[in-house]
Structure 1
Amino acid sequence: MHPTTISGKKSIWAIIKPYLNVFDPTLLLLVCLIMTVSTINMVSAGSGFPGRLEDHLRNICLALVIIWLAALVSPQILMRVAVPVYLVGVALLVGVALFGIIKLGARRWINVGVVIQPSEIMKIAMPMMLAWWFQKREATISWQEFLIAGVLLAIPAALIIRQPDLGTGTLVSAAGFYVIFLAGLSWKVLSGMVVAGAAFMPVAWHMLHDYQRHRVMTLIDPTTDPLGKGFHIIQSMIAIGSGGLPGKGWMNGTQGHLQFIPERTTDFVFAVFSEEFGLIGNLVLITLYLLLIGRGLLIAANAPTLFTRLLAGALSLMFFTYAFVNMGMVSGILPVVGVPLPFMSYGGTAFVTLGLGIGILMSIHRHRKLIQS
């Protein structure tokens, strides 16, 4: 029986149900579980930072709203706006290079009425643009299409790295590369790119800024500067190692509470979590991320069009890049590049970007079900 009132009008549930059906239950559950873990961890990591927990909870609510709004947008609309969003993003990056705002030695922001960081736009705009490009040429994809896609990727990536912002540049480059790879990039070409990249390393080394070269050298041997550039890595590794198998217990982490871990609510939040919850907690968190990525890849595999398959696949693997790079740099196996841990690190911008990614995945899944119905 249709849920209506006695007067024949639709009930409140019947009105709001279509707007709630946009959520993918599995994705929503996994995101909420990670956010729950992050809230528990932020109580400890954020102690000593007045208002940090409240702001983190606000960011979580903001991300959930962004997920809902993005899930309401159909993939057809995403495809129509892919090119304009990409062009606006590139134009803003050029604006940053010409007259951007400098903070902490980096030119990453621009005032357009409000101060924004255009590089964040490209984390979503880049895979959308490249997915649109290959969708439009689905019947005739050849090496020329891959070459042009590489140029479309290289332009914003170069502008972002020049700011300098190696962390965001890495994420944008990875998101674009995933689309190109999933579009059918030959393994021979990929192998050639790896060889060419290795040959280019000496030149790239001299193109890096001094602080970036210092980060790489510190990664190789952090003890060369234990009280300077190596301090972050050394203290985070001590925190991770001291957690052992079960961890020291919630709120009992000494490295975090004695303020030996720098940026313990943002880039190095995983070190606080590892110290207090140990290897067992890490395995639980990593499992949640793997399930989230796996669900996204399943959505990509079942998507109805090339555009949605490429976009969903790239967004899913982007979450892998976030988690892998953050955990790698905190564990001392990758350079420190300022990449947040998805839905764990404090920061409203990252929550908005990640929420958009989850919402788009939900939209793609819902679109598939609508086509089949």
Structure 2
Amino acid sequence: MARNLVPDAIARQPWHVILPLFALNTFGSLVLYSAAGGKMQPWALLHEIHFAVFLVMALVISYLPRDLFKLAAYPTYVVLVVLLVLVELIGGIGGGSQRWLNLGFMTLQPSELMKPGIVLVMAKFFDTLPPAMTRNWRALLPAAALLGVPALLVMLQPDLGTGLAICAGAAVVIFLAGLPMAWFVGAGAALAAIAPIAFFTLLHDYQRNRVLTFLDPESDPLGTGYHITQSKIAIGSGGFWGKGFGNGSQSHLEYLPEAHTDFAFATMAEEWGILGGLFILAVFLWLFRWGLQVARASNDRFSMLLAAGMTFTIFFYMAINTMMVMGLAPVVGIPLPWISHGGSSMMTNMICVGTIMAVDRWNKRGGAGLI
């Protein structure tokens, strides 16, 4: 009876996805509210607005048909590469990096959009590639070119974290497409061999310092190790229950740098403790489980690769950020989805969610969509 009282257009929305994300984003707003000293401005209110706007965008994406995704794959890739080139030519500089384009109404980071963009174009490429060609090394050359161009442009900004995220998303799609495991083992061995050379010749000084700081943060606690040292202090001082909402000393006294972006998880852990961290991880694990179930239920190669790649893109955000703030990975400037402040990262993750919801609809309706 109660179900009949709810309009069908509302009832058929994917509430099993929307409500957990709403809870996670609201929790993130509370963290940002506290980080601002008990004020909605400048982060918490904008965080909620970003979520509302990009949730609508994700729902629109979820109704698009499979053929439109396939048709848009290469044009989208070209547009994103052009935007990355524009960043090199006229992009804004902040924090020593050139990553943003000022659009007037918002500041756009094109490298963020390339994370789902590379998954889309790789899924399209391997969908059109005959299965018999998948194990031919010549088939890997076009895929390597599709990945190499944006990865190089992002590394030049320089943005090592985003560049690695783009490479990781592409690698997952390539792996799931069925390339021989021996190729990945060989690539891993080659990377291990050239890593020391790349460390001393290709990385910038600040990037090398981040790696050295990760290995021994106590060697310079007031310099290069300051960020991770303060983050670990904040997380450790929260204990199991936390200090209480609004009582985080590390962020309020400005000991913790970037308390509203890269280190928002540390801000949360100080006030909400392990319980808050478990809540965040539980929502993410549920999201990843849902995404992988959608991928496994797909009836065609394109849909499976697309859903799995988008799920891994969100996973990469979460895993690297949480490891980073706990000192288990170098500081690479990757925000925590739906918790950290940032419009471009919110847009990227909602594109991923909207795409997975679209694949879920294709699985249930045979590829039909709004258009």
Same fold (TM over 0.5): yes
- Aligned partner of 1:147 in structure 2 is 141
- Aligned partner of 2:153 in structure 1 is 159
- Contact 2:248–2:271 (8 Å) recurs in 1: yes
- Aligned partner of 1:68 in structure 2 is 59
Pick the aligned partner of 1:40 from 30, 38, 56.
Answer: 30
* Distance in structure 1 (CA, Å) of the matches to 2:135 and 2:121: 18
Q: Deviations over 1:228-280 (max 9, x none)?
A: 22111000000111111222222222212222111111110000111112122
| Deviation (angstroms), 1:209 | 0.4
What secondary structure is seen at the aligned counterpart in 1 of 2:244? coil
* Distance in structure 1 (CA, Å) of the matches to 2:157 and 2:14: 37
* Distance in structure 1 (CA, Å) of the matches to 2:331 and 2:367: 45
The code of the aligned residue for 2:27 comes to V
* Distance in structure 2 (CA, Å) of the matches to 1:275 and 1:153: 39
134-143 or 295-304: bigger deviation: 134-143
Q: Deviations over 1:132-165 (max 9, x none)?
A: 0000014332332233212211221111011101
The reply to whether residue 107 of structure 1 matches residue 98 of structure 2 is yes
Change (3 A) 1:20 1:65: farther
Change (3 A) 1:260 1:102: closer
- Aligned partner of 2:360 in structure 1 is 365
The code of the aligned residue for 1:150 comes to A
Identity of aligned residues (%): 38
- Aligned partner of 2:196 in structure 1 is 202
Pick the aligned partner of 1:86 from 77, 90, 93.
Answer: 77
Change (3 A) 1:139 1:317: same
- Aligned partner of 2:124 in structure 1 is 132
* Distance in structure 2 (CA, Å) of the matches to 1:160 and 1:270: 25
* Distance in structure 2 (CA, Å) of the matches to 1:213 and 1:53: 34
* Distance in structure 1 (CA, Å) of the matches to 2:268 and 2:92: 34
Structure 1: state its 5+ residue gaps: 1-10
The code of the aligned residue for 2:171 comes to F
The code of the aligned residue for 1:24 comes to P
- Contact 1:109–1:116 (8 Å) recurs in 2: yes
Pick the aligned partner of 1:239 from 234, 238, 257.
Answer: 234
The reply to whether residue 172 of structure 1 matches residue 172 of structure 2 is no
The reply to whether residue 27 of structure 1 matches residue 17 of structure 2 is yes
* Distance in structure 1 (CA, Å) of the matches to 2:42 and 2:193: 49
What secondary structure is seen at the aligned counterpart in 1 of 2:214? helix
The reply to whether residue 286 of structure 1 matches residue 291 of structure 2 is no
Structure 2: state its 5+ residue gaps: none
The code of the aligned residue for 1:120 comes to E
Change (3 A) 1:170 1:20: farther
- Contact 1:160–1:169 (8 Å) recurs in 2: yes
- Contact 1:41–1:273 (8 Å) recurs in 2: yes
* Distance in structure 2 (CA, Å) of the matches to 1:358 and 1:266: 21
| Deviation (angstroms), 1:372 | 8.8
| Deviation (angstroms), 1:105 | 2.6
- Aligned partner of 1:330 in structure 2 is 325
- Contact 2:30–2:44 (8 Å) recurs in 1: no
* Distance in structure 2 (CA, Å) of the matches to 1:311 and 1:110: 27
The reply to whether residue 316 of structure 1 matches residue 306 of structure 2 is no
Change (3 A) 1:44 1:101: closer
- Contact 1:56–1:347 (8 Å) recurs in 2: yes
- Contact 1:304–1:368 (8 Å) recurs in 2: yes
The code of the aligned residue for 2:150 comes to P
* Distance in structure 2 (CA, Å) of the matches to 1:243 and 1:299: 36
What secondary structure is seen at the aligned counterpart in 1 of 2:309? helix
What secondary structure is seen at the aligned counterpart in 2 of 1:102? strand
- Contact 2:261–2:341 (8 Å) recurs in 1: yes
* Distance in structure 1 (CA, Å) of the matches to 2:74 and 2:104: 23
How many residue pairs match? The answer is: 361
- Contact 2:61–2:351 (8 Å) recurs in 1: yes
| Deviation (angstroms), 1:358 | 0.5
What secondary structure is seen at the aligned counterpart in 2 of 1:109? strand
Given the two structures, how large is their TM-score scaled by the length of structure 2? 0.91
Pick the aligned partner of 2:43 from 29, 52, 70.
Answer: 52
- Aligned partner of 1:8 in structure 2 is none
* Distance in structure 2 (CA, Å) of the matches to 1:81 and 1:279: 43
The code of the aligned residue for 1:184 comes to G
* Distance in structure 2 (CA, Å) of the matches to 1:85 and 1:68: 19
* Distance in structure 2 (CA, Å) of the matches to 1:362 and 1:100: 33
What secondary structure is seen at the aligned counterpart in 1 of 2:262? coil
* Distance in structure 2 (CA, Å) of the matches to 1:364 and 1:24: 12
| Deviation (angstroms), 1:91 | 2.4
What secondary structure is seen at the aligned counterpart in 2 of 1:30? helix
- Contact 1:134–1:145 (8 Å) recurs in 2: no
- Contact 1:62–1:352 (8 Å) recurs in 2: no
